[in-house]
Amino acid sequence: MLKRYIVSICLLGLILLLPACGNHTYHIVKSGDTLYSIGWAYGYDHKQIAAWNGIDEPFSIHTGQKIRLTPSDNKSVKSANQKVVDVSVNKQAVGKRNSTSTRAARNGKSSVVSKPTKKLAWKWPTTSKKVVQYFSESDIRKKGINIAGRNGQSINAAAAGRVVYSGTGLIGYGRLIIIKHNNKFLSAYAHNRELLVREGDQIRRGQKIATMGSSGTSRVMLHFEIRRDGLPVNPLHYLPKKG
């Protein structure tokens, strides 16, 4: 009897875990979500999600809205810039979206044609430059770098832009800020102690946006990411060399 009970519990556990193991098709918008934070959470470019859902700029969404995370069945949807383009995706590439090389594995072109982008001037997001975890293309848990520092230390914008997310809605990031720099680049600042800017704020390069903390992690540090067209890239390829 005890053996049968244990087997039943194990089967129930497996049933409960199955939805989490499958591919996400939709996201239900909750309070605090933005199209940028949804894209960040699932590893897609926000412009691509906007195209799949026919959402135009300024990419407004509302609580309870059902957001598609895959192309429509006809493989062609109205993009955010009012053009109809092919946004089909190779499903086998989904698990490898943390590498820039995966863009070549996609069947279609980018969902939105990018305008020419002015080169950004990046700077370190904090005075401390002690990297305690490095970026890895092969490890999805290392989509950025971790910079050690002291509690309350100033966190500054690595480049000028606009705040598109400021909150605690992304699991594993603690108190998080996401800044949009141009049509290609976003940067993120996670595990903060205090958030000093709000969604929509225009930010200058080097402006203080938060204080370092340990929200969502076991040590005081800044987790810093840069994403190009929705894909994580190595921040050390963009930040100035440590002097």
Range of the domain at 91: 22-105
Q: What is the dihedral of CA 176, 35, 231, 237, to 10 degrees?
A: -50
For the stretch 228-240, pLDDT in tens is 999 999 999 999 9
Q: What percent of the chain has pLDDT over 70?
A: 71
Residue with the larger pLDDT of the pair 233 and 14: 233
The string over 142-159, giving b where at least 16 C-beta atoms fall within 10 Å of a residue's C-beta and e elsewhere, is bbbbbbbbeeebbbbbbb
State how beta strands 208-212 and 26-28 pair: unpaired
* 149 in the same domain as 98: no
For the stretch 41-84, pLDDT in tens is 888 989 899 999 999 988 899 999 999 998 876 444 343 333 32
CATH at residue 30: 3.10.350.10
Q: Residue 17 domain-assigned?
A: no
Write the secondary structure of 116-130 as one string of H (helix), E (strand) and C (coil): CCCCCCCCCCCCCCC
Provide the number of structural domains found in the chain. 2
Residue with the larger pLDDT of the pair 18 and 187: 187
pTM equals 0.70
* 224 in the same domain as 140: yes
Give CA–CA dist 152/194, Å, rounded.
Answer: 8
Q: In whole numbers, what is the pLDDT of the chain averaged over residues? A: 78
* 49 in the same domain as 135: no
What spatial distance separates the first Cα and last Cα of the chain, rounded to whole Å? 68
For the stretch 77-133, pLDDT in tens is 343 333 322 222 333 333 434 443 334 333 333 333 344 456 899 999 999 999 999
Q: Residue 13 domain-assigned?
A: no
* 229 in the same domain as 135: yes
